[in-house]
Chain A
Amino acid sequence: GESVGLHLPTLSVQEGDNSIINCAYSNSASDYFIWYKQESGKGPQFIIDIRSNMDKRQGQRVTVLLNKTVKHLSLQIAATQPGDSAVYFCAETLNTGGFKTIFGAGTRLFVKA
């Protein structure tokens, strides 16, 4: 498949373990924070979002934590599966009358079977 980026940080986990992917964001005025998953040769896929006035949000097998004090966002994936192998991007959005989205650099998650 096509390579999204050649020099991304990589996280390697064993199948069944929990994964934690971290992200630092830049703008205190961001309204929402979002995690996207991008598999090789595909466009980004929305995973979960969290509003700026929340600290934690849970989805199916995923949890997003937001620490506004240190401008840190994390994505926790429970019971990681081989299908979770992909590049994960955090993004922050600014409501400017439209929605301007700023993406982080991405982390490559590799799940070992």
Chain B
Amino acid sequence: DSGVTQTPKHLITATGQRVTLRCSPRSGDLSVYWYQQSLDQGLQFLIQYYNGEERAKGNILERFSAQQFPDLHSELNLSSLELGDSALYFCASSVSRGSVTQYFGPGTRLTVL
């Protein structure tokens, strides 16, 4: 158990809908990272937050947004969902904004029908 929690574990929704994925980092970790894992694209970095501020951005679609709250939990919002958004979404946390060691949560499996 990495200490990173993600909810929900599974999510099934329809195209055009909006969902929110939640992540709680390990106790004491200030950085949160979001990743998408799909069969055709592999593991893709989406975005990083450090202590409430966005620090690095990857291949995140404009339909997707994230934020980190004062209690350091983070939410990833996915809107206008398409079939191709079906994937595993992982959250990871690290102690600092530049820490190499990231601890991954168990993931949320999103299925868009």
Report A96 CB to chain B, min CB distance, Å.
Answer: 5
**Which bucket holds chain B's interface residue count?**
20 to 34
A96 partner, pick from B56, B88, B107, beta carbons under 8 A: B56
Question: Do A97 and B106 touch across chains, with their CB atoms under 8 A apart?
Answer: no
Chain A residues with Cβ below 8 Å from B92 are: 43-44
Q: Which B-chain residue is minimally distant from A104 (CB atoms)?
A: B42
Give the size of the chain A interface in residues (CB under 8 angstroms). 29
Contact with A along B59-96 (1 / 0, CB 8 A): 00000000000000000000000000000101010100
Known contacts being A43-B92, A89-B43, A98-B50, is A34 close to B100, with CB within 8 Å?
yes
A32 CA to B99 CA in the complex, in Å?
10
Q: Main secondary structure on chain B at its contact with chain A?
A: strand
Within 8 A of A (CB), among B1-24: 2, 4
B104 partner, pick from A3, A6, A44, beta carbons under 8 A: A44
Question: Do A100 and B56 touch across chains, with their CB atoms under 8 A apart?
Answer: yes
Q: List the interface of chain A (C-beta within 8 A of B).
A: 2-6, 32, 34, 41-46, 49, 89, 91, 93, 95-106
Q: List the interface of chain B (C-beta within 8 A of A).
A: 2, 4, 31, 33, 37, 39, 42-45, 48, 50, 54-58, 88, 90, 92, 94, 97-107, 109
Contacts A97-B56, A102-B45 known; list 16 others, CB within 8 Å. A4-B37, A42-B106, A45-B2, A46-B101, A97-B55, A97-B97, A98-B48, A98-B50, A99-B33, A99-B94, A100-B56, A100-B58, A101-B45, A101-B102, A104-B42, A105-B42
